[in-house]
């Protein structure tokens, strides 16, 4: 089945809000073996909505539309649907009754302005809305089914699940199976990954590899499609084994896991504790780690020793060391890690110092220069990095690299 989605609203084309409805629609359709082939977004303009409906109908079996069913003057979807389908706009008694009943449950009479939501194209099938005023509706235009839903996400999601998905599924004879395995990678670029996997998938295969950047990680998405669930699962498992063999430990998480959740699990499994000394990351590393519920089981403390004075007074970094080597140096990173570990009594300590920019760099140590140190009973080591981008990207990359250090170290215990 060829399915398209259409999102309507000026707030979308002006970039004022993110279109979460389109993402939800695509994900829910994939979950029941259906796939969105095209998505379109238009503003609150009747002519644009009419044109979009007609354009999508020509090459789709079904179009799911969200937005523009409200009571205000900029809600034009019902009128545009009537015009695009060549139907009259008329008062739908069933929709009006819903409005009256819903208003009564809210403890007030139906406002005249809300009656506009009962003006729908003739001869439509209503899509019930149990939690809002705007009923959705379904109509067939030529060979295409149109499903109109409100733009309010919580209403759209429920109406999709309870009415639209069952209707779409009832029209499918041979259900497709879609399965996706997501591997989260850090340390390799998209180009490097693409070169690494270039010979793994034959042309015309039922499995594929795709990439999605969620800086600084890259999600490698292994996808399988077919009508035989066991075959799809088998082929996806075979591809996954080949990909993991190529990646050689660069995968830090799978599926819904994150770097932080993986670290939380590893810290509990290993039974060790952690402390942090942060400079250029400004507490970002501590925040990301403590966003995990129950992190107090292993996370003892963190110090944002931003100034040289704080490094000297709080962590007991020798002032002479800072004068000779600079605050951004492997030697100072080591002293910071040793200092916070000694003060906190943690098993492991991590320190980050660097130049996040936009100023403060030099020819010898440009913006993006970062040193990370890890201290444990085995000793203390430090390594330097050169990150690119603006201040936020440098800080994010620094925190992520530090977490990956922790992950790799914990795996050795």
Domains along the sequence of the chain with CATH? 3-170 (3.40.980.10), 177-254 (3.30.70.2860), 259-412 (3.90.950.20)
* pLDDT at residue 186, as a whole number: 96
Which portions of the chain are predicted below pLDDT 70? none
Q: Quick check: bond before 216 cis, omega within 30? A: yes
* pLDDT at residue 147, as a whole number: 98
Distance CA 260, CA 287 (A): 10
How would DSSP label each residue in 31-60?
Answer: HTT--EEEEEEE-S-HHHHHHHHHHHHHT-
pLDDT in tens, 152-197: 999 999 999 999 999 999 877 777 888 999 999 999 999 999 999 9
Yes or no: say if 195 and 376 are a contact pair by the CB < 8 Å rule. no
* pLDDT at residue 33, as a whole number: 87
Residue 325: CA count within 13 A, CB half-sphere: 18
Distance CA 65, CA 25 (A): 10
Residue 285's nearest CA partner among 345, 352, 344 is 352
pLDDT in tens, 333-380: 999 999 999 999 999 999 999 999 999 999 999 999 999 999 999 999
Yes or no: say if 395 and 216 are a contact pair by the CB < 8 Å rule. no
Yes or no: say if 263 and 377 are a contact pair by the CB < 8 Å rule. no
* pLDDT at residue 296, as a whole number: 97
Angle between helices 46-58 and 77-85 (to 10 degrees): 50
Using only C-alpha atoms, the chain has a radius of gyration, in whole angstroms, of 28
Yes or no: say if 113 and 71 are a contact pair by the CB < 8 Å rule. yes
* pLDDT at residue 176, as a whole number: 80
């Amino acid at each position: 089945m060829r399915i398209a989605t259409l999102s309507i609203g000026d707030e979308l084309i002006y970039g004022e809000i993110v279109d979460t409805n389109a993402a939800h629609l695509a994900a829910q359709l994939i979950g029941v073996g259906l796939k969105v082939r095209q998505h379109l977004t238009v503003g609150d303009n009747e002519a644009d909505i009419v044109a979009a409906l007609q354009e999508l109908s020509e090459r789709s079996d079904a179009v799911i539309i969200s937005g523009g069913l409200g009571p205000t003057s900029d809600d034009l979807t019902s009128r545009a649907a009537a015009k695009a389908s060549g139907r009259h706009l008329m008062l739908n008694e069933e929709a009006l009754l819903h409005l009256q009943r819903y208003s009564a449950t809210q403890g007030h009479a139906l406002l005249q302005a809300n009656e506009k939501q009962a003006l729908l194209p003739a001869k439509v099938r209503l899509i019930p809305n149990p939690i809002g005023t705007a009923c959705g509706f379904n109509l067939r235009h030529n060979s295409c089914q149109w499903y109109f839903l409100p733009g309010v996400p919580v209403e759209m999601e429920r109406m999709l699940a309870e009415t639209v998905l069952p209707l779409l599924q009832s029209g499918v004879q041979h259900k497709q199976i879609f399965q996706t395995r997501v591997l989260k990678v850090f340390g390799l670029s998209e180009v490097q990954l693409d070169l690494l996997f270039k010979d793994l998938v034959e042309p015309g295969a039922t499995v594929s590899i795709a990439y999605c950047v969620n800086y600084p990680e890259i999600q490698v998405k292994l996808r399988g499609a077919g009508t035989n669930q066991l075959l799809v699962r088998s082929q996806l498992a075979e591809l996954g084994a080949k990909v993991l063999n190529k990646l050689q430990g660069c995968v830090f998480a799978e599926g819904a896991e994150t770097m932080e959740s993986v670290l939380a699990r590893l810290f509990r499994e290993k039974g060790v504790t952690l402390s942090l000394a942060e400079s250029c990351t400004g507490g970002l590393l501590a925040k990301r780690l403590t966003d995990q519920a129950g992190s107090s089981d292993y996370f003892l403390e963190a110090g944002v020793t931003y100034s040289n004075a704080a490094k000297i007074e709080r962590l007991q970094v020798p002032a002479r060391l800072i004068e000779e080597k600079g605050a951004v140096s492997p030697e100072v990173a080591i002293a910071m890690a040793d200092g916070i570990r000694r003060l906190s009594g943690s098993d492991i300590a991590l320190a980050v110092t660097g130049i996040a920019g936009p100023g403060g760099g030099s020819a010898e140590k440009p913006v993006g220069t970062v040193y990370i140190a890890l201290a444990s009973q085995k000793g203390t080591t430090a390594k330097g990095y050169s990150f690119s981008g603006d201040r936020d990207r440098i800080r994010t990359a620094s925190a992520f690299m530090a977490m990956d250090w922790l992950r790799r170290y914990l795996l050795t215990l």
